[in-house]
Amino acid sequence: MNIESALKEAMSIEGALGVALVDYESGMSLGALGGGPQLDLELAAAGNTEVVRAKQRTLKSLGLQEEIEDILITLGTQYHLIRPLARARGGLFLYLALDRGRGNLALARHRLRALEAELEV
């Protein structure tokens, strides 16, 4: 599955507000769908890059030999889900913003995991 197809699939998740595939080395988005005035995906991609980097530094400082499966940020009306792609060279992550009232967090996590397995970058 290519990037465009993966992003379209992610946007089909019930409650999806926006999705991006992000290079956390540069903070640049390789592709994005959705978003809008209330959700600037380019800004979110850059900001979430810092979240991923901070968590990786923390794991290293703690001496944990673990990989991040996903990072969840819970807001009053939204879930922000960050899923680093374990198979991707160069450090990529999927970022999904989900409406809390319409989305199902467990299903969204499951769908992103499945997308990761099918995505070719």
pLDDT tens readout for residues 60-70:
999 999 989 99
Do the Cβ atoms of 76 and 60 come closer than 8 Å? no
Residue 36: predicted pLDDT: 86
Residue 121: predicted pLDDT: 77
Residue 64: predicted pLDDT: 94
**Residue reference for tokens 């009306």:** 77
Residue 109 to residue 121: CA distance in whole angstroms: 20
The 10s digit of each residue's pLDDT in 27-56 is: 899 999 999 888 999 999 999 999 999 999
The 10s digit of each residue's pLDDT in 69-81 is: 999 999 999 999 9
Query: What separation in angstroms does the CA of 33 have from each of 30, 36, 68, 76, 93?
Result: 11, 9, 24, 22, 15
pTM confidence score: 0.93
Backbone angles phi, psi at 41, to 5 degrees: -65, -30
